[in-house]
Structure 1
Amino acid sequence: MSDGLEDVVAAHTTLSDVDGVAGRLVIRGRSLDDLAGRMAFEEMVTLMLGGLLPGLPEGAELQAVLGAARASVFPIVLRASLPAGLSPVEALRTWTALIPDGEDAGTAVTLLAAPAVFTAAAVRRARGLEPVAPEAGLSHAADTLRMLGGDRPSAAEAAALDAYLVTVADHGLNASTFAARVVASTRAGLVSAELAGISALKGPLHGGAPGPVIDMLDAIGEPGDARAWLEAALDRGERLMGFGHRVYRVRDPRADALKAALRRLGADSARLVLAEAVEQAALAILRERKPNRPLETNVEFYTALLLEALGFPPEAFTCVFAMGRTIGWLAHAQEQIAGGRLIRPQSVYVGPRPMQAA
């Protein structure tokens, strides 16, 4: 057994399948290619939680219920003060902890709605601005961007955020999803499972990684400077952010889905030209220096560019990741609860033994 548990099967699931050799992601029987850019957040909720959560509404009713849930959690950001210096993801976790726990559809819908409200409020407060109240009649993606920026987004902007949220909704038994399943198996409640997911996601080896991609692009500045900057970074022993993945031996399919969403959005062409130059240079250098290690573009690279184009600051990228991944956390939590088995793996003791009496 390896330290990272790669060879351990910890669950049987109907939710998603990650094929790291073929570079394929299947979610409830459908390829990511069939979902990203073609499905809204609300539809992804129905796809993943349908049949797992009794009482969950669908279609227009689900959009209305989500809108009402956004409105119901907004008072939390008005009345619950936060310690100074909290990052957006820490604010998200703190405010989420104030939601009453439960395992019913109402709790799940509240948790699906809350990250949008809390993320927008945290970003605005960091900018010295007042939070914007939800507009319940809008789609979830459109209202998220309106609460963030203060104005209604274009249809293209809302569609781009939908594409992102759908793309990151689930990805096998990753660290945050496994954490959520472990907590759900104790029957602690969906809020507790969500908090476990957020806490795991904020780590820089998981969902806390996309922000540094922006720092890298800003530091490089011009396409022609990409190779020299990247080689110097590797010479210093630094990791190139946005490249390499624990599971994928080939290109992460989510990178292509998000790049396509970025093109549909019509984002800053100069920024995209820089990003493509950096990507090409990085892949070439990694193949030269580490020919025996498959290091390809991962989801972080184009996540950073897309969320930047939509107005999210890098320090809030993990929060937006949580908006989409909450769908997966809740689906896995419900699947675990339905199985009814407490997760309790074994460990192998390798420490010293007690001294035996003579």
Structure 2
Amino acid sequence: MFQKGLKGIVAVQTAIASVEGDKGELRYRGQLVHEATKGKSFEQTAYFLWYGHHASRTELATLTQDLLSYRQLPDYLIAVAQTLPIETSLMDGMRTLVSAYQHTEFKELESQQQAIALTAALPVMTALLYRKSIGQEFIAPRSDLSHTANYLWMIKGEMPTPTQTEALETYLNLTMEHGMNASTFASRVTISTESDLSAAIVSALGTMKGPLHGGAPSGVLELLDEIQSPEKIKTVIEQKLAQGEKIMGFGHRVYRTEDPRAILLREKCQQLQQKDAWLNLAVLAESEITHLLNAKKPGRALYTNVEFYAAAIMRSIQMPPVLFTPTFSIARIVGWTAHALEQQQDNVIFRPQSEYIGN
């Protein structure tokens, strides 16, 4: 049976995550995402997705040390980054560096350790490329910071506040994995040929680059920029609705109820909103916009999606839009590698049929 885009076709059985759009449920390893990530660090959530159980104190210490050890990029890789044309996009640069990340020590690692190494190295690659693109010196990673805080440190060259780290970590944890999305499928297809893990991540990054999948939530940023202050929310939204414009950040192609990730990001923003004007604006805007949408479009059930609060969090931590998709990738590499490892355990090469419709 032909289905355009393979919509509704089951191609994989997985124990990593499930997405129930009608119920508005996302589960990591069988646990509702809020249960799996509540109070957890990036390191703890990554461990759970990779290994299928929550880390003990010893297991977490080992993973943390491994991630720290793989933060140091080989000198040749830094040299490769420096030779790329200045106009190279960050996503293209990330693909290039991951593809070149094939030194002897890495090749000798078993697959799980390669997954950890790539996860640790990708934020460093991203920061290196970003700093180069704005004409600033590379800031070396620190060994005394968490995965999330270190990424912010390398991007900005200044210590992130606890509020900034907490907000970004919540976003990273909630976007690590989301079932059989396009980039995850690409990673599994590549690894199914018995190619290597780096190649699988290159495939995933190339897929994530596409605006239909990993495109930055620029529309939400433009909306919040236009609103600017709580007093202008109603006026701006009513004008857009009167002109038939789409309200960015509302509605989702999978979830028919609220996006569970948006709910958790909203809760985090509510906790932190008094410490940040942008988070405060986002919380107030969502409430007012939802009210207006329900009044103007009854029965449509238009809820915020993950991009709405992702945009607010990125703006609150002063993350430039060019880093939105790379940062999404820094989270999702955990899911990509988890799926690639699962594919390796019971592998059959993907080889779907095509239906000829030519003359």
After TM superposition, the score normalised by the length of structure 2 is: 0.87
2:304 corresponds to which of 291, 297, 303: 297
Indicate if the aligned counterparts of 1:15 and 1:332 stay in contact, CA closer than 8 A: yes
Q: CA deviation at 1:270?
A: 3.4
What is the distance in 1 between the residues matched to 2:89 and 2:262?
26
Match of 1:66 in 2: 67
Which one is further off, 237-246 or 123-132? 237-246
Cα 1:187–1:294 shift into 2, 3 Å: farther
- State yes or no: 1:270 paired with 2:277: yes
| Amino acid corresponding to residue 122 of structure 2 in structure 1 | P
User: In the TM superposition, what whole-angstrom CA distance separates every residue of 1:181-204 from its partner, at most 9, and x where no partner exists?
Assistant: 111111211111111111221222
Change (3 A) 1:65 1:116: same
| Post-superposition CA distance 1:228-257 (Å, at most 9, x none) | 544555677754332221210011010121
Tell me, in whole angstroms, the C-alpha distance in 2 between the residues paired with 1:153 and 1:222. 25
Equivalent residue for 1:201, pick from 189, 208, 212: 208
- Alignment partners' CA distance in 1, 2:38 and 2:169: 7
**Which aligned pairs between 1:40-79 and structure 2 lie closer than 5 A?**
40-50=41-51, 58-73=59-74, 76-79=77-80
Q: Determine if contact 1:66/1:109 at 8 Å carries over to the other structure.
A: yes
> Paired residue for 1:24?
25
Match 1:314 to one of 321, 326, 349? 321
Between Structure 1 and Structure 2, the one with more helix by share is 2
251, 257, 260: which is aligned to 1:253? 260
CA offsets per residue over residues 77-128 of structure 1, 9 Å max, x none? 3543221223322322222221118562332122101221122223323333
Partner of 1:97, secondary structure, is: helix
Secondary structure (helix, strand or coil) at the match of 1:18 reads strand
Structure 1: distance between partners of 2:304 and 2:288: 11
Gaps of 5+ in 1: 354-358
Give the match for residue 162 of structure 1. 169
- Equivalent pair of 1:149/1:311 in contact (CA under 8 Å): no
Structure 1 residues 309, 7: CA separation in 2 closer, same or farther (over 3 Å shift)? same
Residues 315, 4 of structure 1: CA spacing in aligned structure 2 closer, same or farther, 3 A cutoff?
Answer: same
Preserved contact between residue 25 and residue 31 of structure 1 (Cα < 8 Å): yes
1:98 aligns with 2:135: no
Q: Does 1:179 align with 2:186?
A: yes
Aligned to 2:89: 87
Aligned to 1:330: 337
Query: How many residues end up aligned between the 2 structures?
Result: 348
1:133 aligns with 2:133: no
- Say which SS state the counterpart of residue 318 (structure 2) adopts: coil
Aligned to 1:8: 9
The more displaced of 196-205 and 148-157 is 148-157
In structure 2, the gaps of 5 or more residues are none
Judging changes above 3 Å, is the alpha-carbon distance between structure 1 residues 86 and 37 closer, same or farther for their aligned structure 2 residues? farther
What is the DSSP-based 3-state SS (H/G/I as helix, E as strand, rest coil) of the residue aligned with 1:176?
Answer: helix
Residue 275 of structure 1: CA displacement?
Answer: 2.0
**Which letter does structure 1 place at the counterpart of 2:136?**
L
Bigger CA drift: 180-189 or 73-82? 73-82
CA distance in 2, matches of 1:37, 1:233: 36
2:118 alignment partner AA: L
Percent of counterpart pairs with the same letter?
38
Q: Which amino acid is the alignment partner of residue 7 of structure 1?
A: G
Please, which of 116, 119, 123 is the counterpart of residue 126 of structure 2? 119
The one-letter code of the counterpart of 1:94 is T
Separation (CA, whole Å) in 2 of partners of 1:217 and 1:77: 37
Q: Is the 8 A contact 2:270 2:283 kept in 1?
A: no
Q: Distance in 1 between matches of 2:274 and 2:312?
A: 9
Shift, 1:38, TM fit: 1.2
* Deviation, structure 1 residue 265: 4.0
User: Is the Cα contact below 8 Å between 1:243 and 1:301 reproduced in 2?
Assistant: yes
Check 1:262–1:172 CA distance in 2 against 1; reply closer, same or farther (3 A cut): same
Partners of 1:5 and 1:289 lie apart in 2 by 35
TM-score, scaled relative to structure 1: 0.87
Matched with 2:290 is 283
SS at match of 2:37: coil
Whether contact under 8 Å (1:170, 1:325) holds in the other structure is yes
1:23 is matched by which residue type in structure 2? G
Provide closer, same or farther for how the CA distance between residues 275 and 155 of structure 1 changes in structure 2, counting only shifts above 3 A. closer
CA shift for structure 1 position 291: 5.0
CA 1:3–1:219: 2 relative to 1, 3 Å: same
Alpha-carbon distance, 1:28 to partner = 0.6
CA distance in 1, matches of 2:202, 2:156: 26
Q: Which amino acid is the alignment partner of residue 11 of structure 1? A: V
Match of 2:219 in 1: 212
